[in-house]
A and B are shown apart, each in its own frame.
Chain A
Amino acid sequence: MSRKELLSKIGLRADGRRAQELRRIRCKLGVFTEPDGSAYIEQGLTKVLAAVYGPHQVRGGRSKAQYDAAIVNCQFSMAVFSTGERKRRPRGDRKSTEMSIHLKQALMATIKTELYPWSQIDVYVEVLHADGGVYAACVNASTLALIDAGIPLKEYVCACTASLANNDIPMVDISYQEEVLGGPTLTVAALPMSEKIVLMEMTQRFHLDHLPKVLKEALRGCKDIKVILDEAVRNHLVNVGSSSGWVKNK
């Protein structure tokens, strides 16, 4: 037993959650008018903005364009004030490049790019506050922004983190404090309806015995998140639809 036990014996985490509980998720679609689609998500204190432009004509160097599918371009960045310490974060550093690539991998799995040959879809995410599970929040925000932009997706792509409390009990949606104190953290991006994993990342190695239960927990987290996002999308649609009177444009 150490001071850094993540799950107290009465079964609560430091912030008062139980092991299987997500943090509070709040989200909003259509936060900007300039991009084609945009979304804002809060997972606990992690706050992310996402904006989607496109599909549009490939800009700058036509050679990148593909004849059979749209190209997806992701850019991840963190605000200087997003962590406890103010820090300049130049675009294109190693971490954000890696994040961008991972984000692209997750989104490519769900966007029906084959519908848009010769075109390009840009996804920009900006982390306003990082409190653990940054990647997961970015994926979830991007999904919402893509839906807002009306870009066809196979289904929602959701991401969630999971780790082990006291080296034994899997817990979901890891906060920054738990990330720092705890052991390895698993991040999973999945298509929750078809239960396909599109990306998996670990901060450290998990022992093989632990991996299945942590993975299971992370996937369950993805499904829970999907339900929450879906509700948000429906609410947004009803709101917008009612304003414009559900008028059919035909």
Chain B
Amino acid sequence: MFTTKVFIRKNKIGNFLKNIREHYLRDDLFCGFTSCNVCKPEDTALSSNIENKSGLFNYPHYLILDTNIILDQMDILEEDVICNVIILHTVLKEVKHRSLAIYKRLNAVIDNPNRHFFVFINDHHRECYVPQEDTELINDYNDRCIRTACLWYINHIPDAKFVFITDDARNRALAEEENITTCSIEQYVRSIKENNLLEDKLAKRDYHVESDTQDLFPAHLTVTQVQEGIKEGRLHQGTYRASTSNFLEGFVSVDGYEDAILVQGRSGQNRAIDGDLVAVEIFKEQDWIAPSEIILEDESRVDTAVEEVLLKENELKEYSTGKKKKEKAKPTGCVVGIIRRKWRPFCGILQQDAPEGALYHLFVPADKKFPKIRIETRQAEFLKTQKIVVVIDDWPRYSRYPAGHFVRALGKIGDQATENEVVLLEHDVPHSKFSEEVLSCLPKLPWIITEEDVAKRTDLRHLDICSVDPPGCTDIDDALHCREIEGGMLEVGVHIADVSHFIRPGSALDVEAASRATTVYLVDKRIDMVPALLSSNLCSLRGGEDRFAFSCVWEMDKNANILKTKFHKSIIRSRKAMTYEEAQLTIDDKSRNDSIAQSLRNLNNLAKILKQRRLEKGALVLASPEVKIRMDSETMDPIDVEVKKLFETNSMVEEFMLLANISTAEKTLKDFPDCAMLRRHPEPPKINYEPLVKAGKHLGFEIKTGSNKELAISMDNAVKEDNPYMNTMLRILATRCMMQAVYFASGMFQKEDYYHYGLAVPLYTHFTSPIRRYADIIVHRLLAVSIGADVTYPDLLDKHKTSDLCQNLNYRNRMAQLAGRASVAFNTHLFFRGKLQDEEAYILSVRKNALQILIPRYGLESTLYLSQKGKKSIFEYNEEDQTQKYEDVVFHAFDPVIVRLALDSNNIQREKLVLQLVFPVVKGFSIPPLNEEHKRKVETDQKKTKAKKSKKK
């Protein structure tokens, strides 16, 4: 049947487990050459018509790559100039083992037929297999396998030429001994004609090269040293998180310590980058220090890097030491080894201050958590105007900054489109156009409802259904109705767009939607989860049109007690698509008595009861400073920033959506105890509440955090007459204490962990927005199965698959949220370009050298520095009370202030909002107000203080 030879590989691991695996060798594997008449021909990507153009080898040749080339130089390989490449299976396996991300990228290249990459399975080939020798290291063995395959090719296809590329000098030498043509990637790339600045993309990674320059960082421990250290308990493993406010500080959270381990300064951080899995050594307790509360930014240039960092380190030291600090000392340590790098491509710009014509430049990532990266480029003048993508290759000990290489340019700095691109890239939002394959899954227009459809669904077109959404909404996924039925009862229906009718499981469209997971809303752009035909037309429950819906219909009494719940697929015709404002007006307009107005009023009344009941159970009312940016429809420039207005109807719609979600969660869990997709919101650990409780204490309120109900009550009580915004600020703070709500598969958690803390419900899921959330589609499918309207498919019932899917959904949701915020932030900046404005604001928190300021009108949070660079602050910081004091003026948390907003555009590389204090007046620090109203306020205040002073005298 098939020819095999068996080799047995034994390896012993850990507890002397004997693993024996079979390894079949085959003689039916294809070499990839159509000219070969020994092998059985199959499809091949290699082509004799395509040539690699290299000056070094000016004859047609095929490339065989070593593993290190693929791991390090993926950016080069993604370029079209390199083709006719043979990827050995040994190499492919090693790449997969070492980096899944690179493996995926490599697969994308292999799958592209235009690139002519061919995978040769050498390790199962009868003639290319070599057994590993007893004392041989795995790396040497792999190298030998690769060379054996090279030799085999040379003998197998005598009329073709092969070039073996490797950056491992030893391997190259051995290959030369065996008469294999070989060179390094750098030599090869340099020799390519028309190389189009390909050299910029070369990753520079020195192997075993000692440098003469002075080492700036301590050496990392080797892998075995780290493993031993962890085993013995000397070292600890954890993920490194850079501080967002201080570039010389970071934290590593490790098991067994409640507080994250503080690492400070160059030697402490020791080249760790945010997200890396590192090994830390924890100092003795007497050497522990407190986290500095200062804000430090890296302002160095490529040539002054070292001096700058020394200066800043000293500054930091000053803050962190001192006797008082001892009490607040946190576990401190230093990074001694990196277990796994979490490097990814970074978006950002070149630092502008490099001299013209320089080869080395500093790249500044958009995200402040990451260090600057040193790159080599010959097109700096052009790149300076661009947002670019750069990856890190290496961070040698002698270099202040990691070394990286340029990948691609995104567009001009400051352009809306470029910035959107950056936001999307930084947050890993898939935003390419929908592929032809995906679009082919869409229904053909004109779309009509067939008899068959009608027969399968409940016809609800006679009901007075309407939708209520924000203005300008085109993806309407929910609609409501309410009518009186026999016995004085009310029938309430929530109708959700039936997206799962159009997106069939397993189709390209489904796969794409699952990968996107959510629609991403940027200020001026919406990245749809599903193509517009569905999101804005066929699925959107537009007024006056027949649409498919998934209906959840309750029978309720007037006290909003649910007597019966029904789910069915239906056809509806929304009477009207209203905005929140319109709906509110309809309710308030006493003269209107039509059925829509009545049903809205009924709904509103029920919603109030539901809300009340929910709050009693302990649901939290949280706040976040959300704003809407009004855009000029022509120029797409922001013309105004405003806080979102809320009507009663907002809450009305929300209540019914919550109710529908809860009902669905109960139903799906009952029918699918193992694979229902639910949403949980874990209770945050007590330590998260610390800032909130502290802030409350300073204001004289006790914030209890025992349960969500206690928290809700104590926040309700924390009201100050003279500062109405304070309560909102408390709620904003509370929001920041919360954990992220996440999707999960019911089979993966214990029942008690299903709880939704924020909503105070035992079960919750998402059902009501299938157009913009993939989770809802899954929930729709489950529900459709449980009411018998649809059939299952394998992945739907696999709790592991569902769990994997949840991971992706959670990740994408988080990223979408962050992307949305980043977009708002950018547009706010844009709005302030060339403007000066005084605004009322509040102090959110008091730092050692700065105040964290919240400006409610713009939902903006920013830092007001109290000291200039290099100068000593005139304020006196009281750590106990968390106050800053100068003469009579004392800043507490939550105090109202007036600040001036301006955009600092001198520094084009990173435009930032600069705050200046206007009120209260602090001599030598505050600045005079701009407008009359504020002037008056300042004047009256000054009079008051004078009066006070004179009194004292």
A–B contact (CB under 8 angstroms):
yes
Q: Which of A16-24, A97-105, A148-156 has 4 or more CB atoms under 8 Å from chain B?
A: A16-24
Q: How far is the CB of B505 from chain A (nearest CB, A)?
A: 10
- What is the bound-complex CA distance between A44 and B21, given in angstroms? 9
Given contacts A22-B1, A209-B793, contact A16 B19 (CB under 8 A): no
Is A94 located at the chain interface by the 8 A CB criterion?
A: no
The residues of A that contact B795 with a CB separation of less than 8 Å are: 167, 207
Given contacts A10-B119, A12-B124, contact A45 B22 (CB under 8 A): yes
Is B330 located at the chain interface by the 8 A CB criterion?
A: no
Q: Cβ of B6 and Cβ of A24 under 8 Å apart?
A: yes
Q: Cβ of A209 and Cβ of B794 under 8 Å apart?
A: yes
The residues of B that contact A129 with a CB separation of less than 8 Å are: 20
The residues of B that contact A247 with a CB separation of less than 8 Å are: none
The residues of B that contact A167 with a CB separation of less than 8 Å are: 794-795, 798, 801
- What is the bound-complex CA distance between A21 and B22, given in angstroms? 14
Residues facing B in A167-217 (CB within 8 A) are 167, 175, 177, 183, 205-210
Is B537 located at the chain interface by the 8 A CB criterion?
A: no
Q: Cβ of B794 and Cβ of A24 under 8 Å apart?
A: no
The residues of A that contact B103 with a CB separation of less than 8 Å are: 1
Residues facing A in B207-221 (CB within 8 A) are none
Is B507 located at the chain interface by the 8 A CB criterion?
A: no
Question: Knowing that A9-B119, A131-B20 are A-B contacts, what are 12 other residue pairs whose CB atoms are under 8 Å apart, sorted by A's residue number?
Answer: A1-B103, A16-B4, A24-B6, A45-B20, A45-B22, A84-B19, A167-B794, A177-B21, A183-B798, A206-B794, A207-B795, A208-B792
Interface majority SS (helix, strand, loop, mixed), chain B: mixed
Render A4-42 as a binary contact track against B, CB cut-off 8 A, 1 for contact: 000001101011111001111000000000000000000
Is B31 located at the chain interface by the 8 A CB criterion?
A: no
Pairs across A and B, CB under 8 Å, 13 listed: A9-B107, A10-B121, A16-B4, A21-B2, A22-B1, A24-B4, A84-B18, A167-B794, A175-B22, A206-B794, A207-B793, A207-B797, A224-B1
The residue that A16 contacts in the complex, of B24, B793, B797, with Cβ under 8 A, is: B24
Q: Cβ of B25 and Cβ of A16 under 8 Å apart?
A: yes
- What is the bound-complex CA distance between A206 and B17, given in angstroms? 31
- What is the bound-complex CA distance between A12 and B17, given in angstroms? 26
B interface list, Cβ under 8 A from A? 1-2, 4, 6, 8, 15, 17-26, 89, 96-97, 100, 103-104, 107, 119, 121, 123-124, 792-795, 797-798, 801
Is A93 located at the chain interface by the 8 A CB criterion?
A: no
A14, A85, A183, A207: most-surrounded residue (chain B CB, <10 A): A207
The residues of A that contact B119 with a CB separation of less than 8 Å are: 9-10
Q: Cβ of B794 and Cβ of A3 under 8 Å apart?
A: no
The residues of A that contact B107 with a CB separation of less than 8 Å are: 1, 9
Across the A-B interface, give the 6 residue pairs with the lowest CB-CB distance, nearest first. A207-B794, A16-B24, A16-B124, A84-B17, A15-B22, A84-B18
The residues of B that contact A177 with a CB separation of less than 8 Å are: 21
- What is the bound-complex CA distance between A17 and B24, given in angstroms? 7
Q: Cβ of A1 and Cβ of B104 under 8 Å apart?
A: yes
A interface list, Cβ under 8 A from B? 1, 3, 9-10, 12, 14-18, 21-24, 44-45, 84-85, 129, 131, 167, 175, 177, 183, 205-210, 224
Residue of B nearest to A207 (CB): B794
- What is the bound-complex CA distance between A172 and B25, given in angstroms? 18
Q: Cβ of B89 and Cβ of A85 under 8 Å apart?
A: no
B18, B20, B22, B124: most-surrounded residue (chain A CB, <10 A): B22
- What is the bound-complex CA distance between A129 and B8, given in angstroms? 14
Given contacts A9-B107, A85-B17, contact A44 B22 (CB under 8 A): yes
- What is the bound-complex CA distance between A163 and B26, given in angstroms? 23
The residues of B that contact A44 with a CB separation of less than 8 Å are: 22
Residue pairs across A and B with CB atoms within 8 Å: the count is 72
The residues of B that contact A224 with a CB separation of less than 8 Å are: 1
Residue of A nearest to B801 (CB): A167
Q: How far is the CB of A75 from chain B (nearest CB, A)?
A: 26
The residues of B that contact A15 with a CB separation of less than 8 Å are: 21-24
Given contacts A207-B794, A209-B794, contact A12 B121 (CB under 8 A): yes
Residue of B nearest to A224 (CB): B1
Q: Cβ of B22 and Cβ of A10 under 8 Å apart?
A: no
The residues of B that contact A24 with a CB separation of less than 8 Å are: 4, 6, 22, 24
Q: Cβ of B25 and Cβ of A3 under 8 Å apart?
A: no
- What is the bound-complex CA distance between A120 and B390, given in angstroms? 77
Residue of B nearest to A81 (CB): B18
Q: Cβ of A16 and Cβ of B96 under 8 Å apart?
A: no
Given contacts A10-B121, A207-B794, A210-B794, contact A85 B15 (CB under 8 A): yes
Residue of A nearest to B111 (CB): A9
Residue of A nearest to B1 (CB): A224
- What is the bound-complex CA distance between A224 and B1, given in angstroms? 9
- What is the bound-complex CA distance between A149 and B23, given in angstroms? 35
Given contacts A3-B100, A22-B1, contact A16 B794 (CB under 8 A): no
B6, B97, B107, B793: most-surrounded residue (chain A CB, <10 A): B6
- What is the bound-complex CA distance between A12 and B6, given in angstroms? 15
- What is the bound-complex CA distance between A209 and B20, given in angstroms? 34
The residues of B that contact A23 with a CB separation of less than 8 Å are: 22
The residues of A that contact B123 with a CB separation of less than 8 Å are: 16
Q: How far is the CB of B671 from chain A (nearest CB, A)?
A: 15
- What is the bound-complex CA distance between A205 and B796, given in angstroms? 13
Residue of B nearest to A22 (CB): B1
Q: Cβ of A3 and Cβ of B1 under 8 Å apart?
A: no
The residues of A that contact B26 with a CB separation of less than 8 Å are: 16
Residue of A nearest to B22 (CB): A15
Residue of B nearest to A85 (CB): B17
- What is the bound-complex CA distance between A85 and B16, given in angstroms? 8
The residue that A207 contacts in the complex, of B17, B96, B792, with Cβ under 8 A, is: B792
Residue of B nearest to A204 (CB): B798
The residues of B that contact A9 with a CB separation of less than 8 Å are: 107, 119
A10, A24, A209: most-surrounded residue (chain B CB, <10 A): A10
- What is the bound-complex CA distance between A209 and B792, given in angstroms? 9
Residue of B nearest to A228 (CB): B1
The residues of B that contact A131 with a CB separation of less than 8 Å are: 20, 22
The residues of B that contact A45 with a CB separation of less than 8 Å are: 8, 20-22
The residues of B that contact A1 with a CB separation of less than 8 Å are: 100, 103-104, 107
The residues of A that contact B8 with a CB separation of less than 8 Å are: 45
The residues of A that contact B15 with a CB separation of less than 8 Å are: 85
- What is the bound-complex CA distance between A23 and B24, given in angstroms? 9
B23, B97, B124: most-surrounded residue (chain A CB, <10 A): B124
